[in-house]
Structure 1
Amino acid sequence: MKIKKMLLAVFLPLIVSNSANAALALDATRYIYNGNTSFISAIANNESDELYGGQVWIDNITENDTRPTFVTTPSFFKINGKGRQVFRIMKMSDHMPKDKESIYWLNLQEIPPANKGNGLSMAIRTRVKLIYRPKAIVKGRSGAEQYMTIQHLPGQQWLVNSTPYIFAISDVFDNENKSLIFNDMEKDRLTMFMPGDKVNITGQIVKSVSALNDYGSLEKYVLKNVVN
């Protein structure tokens, strides 16, 4: 029993979450890094009344690419209760594709104040998406969801992201405005619908999609030039 308690004390403090229970919170649910800028700014807010420490860093989502791409400054900081910390995200390499978007995780790890007594301090990590948009495709992003296409194969139909942009699609609607049903794997793919990705819509008629825009708000887009 003593060993189990010790293991719990080791693993419980580090929790990955976007929960409202976190003391430190980012000022956006996603960040867009346009390739024609030298850096972007973000804010970590301390929602508690106590002094908290914080650490921010960027992870690659693509597991086979471990090259460092972005740096945050400052990467470590302290925030007074109800205070905030502005930090910068800067590109430190240029190996990303120049004809399509790339995606990363922005992590915010809170460091709680020392707990008095025998209580357990919870250190929650929040992570949100950071999308890098190359300079060459910045101007074409607005409303790009409407330019997804339908691929017709023998006995099959696929909804294809034929654009260079990464979409976060929450719903796909038919011509009667009814939401299409997808399995869990396809749902996950739609939430991070990468250039070239596709989902099976055989037997369905797709008219529109609902997706998050750059600011994290849902918008509906009617697909253009789609013949079912």
Structure 2
Amino acid sequence: MCSLLCICGLLGGALAQAGVTAERTRVIFPGESHETSLLLANLNAYPVLVQTWIDDGALDSTPDTAVAPIMPLPPVFRMAPGERRSLRLLFTGGNLPADRESLFWLNLYEIPPSESVRNLTPEQARLVVTMRTQMKVFYRPKDLPSSPEAAARKLAFSVRQEAGRAVLRVENGSPYHVTLANLDLRGSGQGQVLRGDMVGPFAHLDLPIEPQAVTGKNQVVFTWLDDDGNTREDNAPLH
């Protein structure tokens, strides 16, 4: 089946704003369940057609090429202005690691009616103004040790040289993904605020820093996102 994504042009982001929003910023799929759900709401003043699919993070993914063991249902549906509806996420099976989380991406592709492009130029009007939103889906196996909160608080931070440059290494020795919002290096050096990123299970993240940012005894004050997408703040020594 040819996807709606294949036949609709994508206009610049400045002309499109996501109106279909989800109740959460991320989905935690518990390994002991075969299904979970996500509540969506159409905040637009007009109806939209929504197409959904889950992939493994490939940037060029489409509903026809997506590879993931989780299927959203329904894959295509219409939402009236102000309508709320539940999107089902079904686990279809697969050999996923049992000792750590697996990460997938839920795509929400909304297509407004053609009336919404009447004020565009004739050339632009040939395209349909669309918006693609992506959300993280964490498949969490049953009986993982510890907790996501403990994982964030047990991150290890150190400064080292990689390829001739100074980097802050963040090591995650847990089976959970940890999403860092930002990191503030504090101590006897001049300090530096860094933009965060996600650290995978049993993996590390290297963030470039200024050599003079850390001297002597230092600590890292960092914010991270919990399962509900809320920011939490913690601190740790810098080795």
C-alpha displacement at 1:219, in angstroms? 0.4
Identity %: 23
Give the RMSD, CA atoms, in angstroms: 3.4
User: Corresponding residue for 1:33?
Assistant: 29
Shift of residue 20 of structure 1?
Answer: 8.5
Specify which of 159, 169, 172 is matched with residue 170 of structure 2: 159
Match of 1:180 among 192, 203, 208: 192
Q: Deviation per CA, 1:96-143, whole angstroms, max 9, x where unpaired? A: 211111111111111212338685341111111111111122752233
- The whole-number CA distance in structure 1 between the counterparts of 2:26 and 2:16 is 16
- Give the match for residue 107 of structure 2: 107
From 104, 123, 133, the counterpart of 1:126: 133
Residues 16 and 126 in structure 1, CA contact (< 8 A), matched pair in contact too: no
Aligned length: 208
TM-score by length of 1: 0.75
Are the structure 2 counterparts of residues 218 and 176 from structure 1 closer, same or farther at C-alpha, using a change threshold of 3 Å?
A: farther
Residue 180 of structure 1 deviates from its aligned partner by: 3.3
Assess, with a 3 A threshold, how the Cα gap between structure 1 residues 141 and 160 changes in structure 2: closer, same or farther: same
Q: How does 1:7-22 map to 2 (within 5 A)?
A: 11-13=9-11, 21-22=17-18
Listed as ranges, the gaps of 5+ residues in structure 1 are 1-9
Using the TM superposition, give the Cα deviation of residue 23 of structure 1 relative to its aligned residue in structure 2, in angstroms.
2.5
Does the C-alpha gap of structure 1 residues 100 and 115 become closer, same or farther in structure 2, counting only changes over 3 Å?
same
Structure 1 residues 135, 118: closer, same or farther in 2, change over 3 A?
same
Summarize the alignment of residues 36-55 of structure 1 with structure 2, pairs less than 5 Å apart: 36-55=32-51
Task: Give, in angstroms, the shift of residue 222 of structure 1.
Answer: 2.9
Q: Which amino acid aligns with 1:46?
A: N
Q: What letter matches 1:86 in structure 2?
A: S
Distance 1:165 1:212 in 2: 12
Query: Is the aligned partner of 1:208 residue 2:208?
Result: no
Q: Distance in 2 between matches of 1:59 and 1:67?
A: 5
Q: Which of the residues 162, 170, 177 maps onto 2:181? A: 170
Counterparts of 1:89-108 in structure 2, within 5 Å, are 89-108=89-108
Deviates most, 119-128 or 163-172: 119-128
Structure 2 counterpart SS, 1:144 = helix
| Unaligned residue ranges in structure 2 (runs of 5+) | 1-7, 60-65
What displacement does 1:83 show? 0.6
Question: What is the distance in 2 between the residues matched to 1:134 and 1:35?
Answer: 4
SS at match of 2:41: strand
Write out per-residue CA displacement over residues 52-101 of structure 1, whole angstroms, 9 at most, x where no aligned residue: 211111010268xx743110111111111111121111111232211111
More strand by share: 2
Give the Å deviation of 1:181.
4.2
Find the aligned partners of 1:40 and 1:158 in 2 and give their Cα distance: 35
- Provide the secondary structure at the position in 2 that maps to 1:105: strand
Structure-2 change in CA distance of 1:193 and 1:58 (3 Å)? same
* 1:60 maps onto 2:46 in alignment: no
Residue number among 195, 200, 217 corresponding to 2:230 in the alignment: 217
Deviation at 1:209, TM superposition (A): 1.7
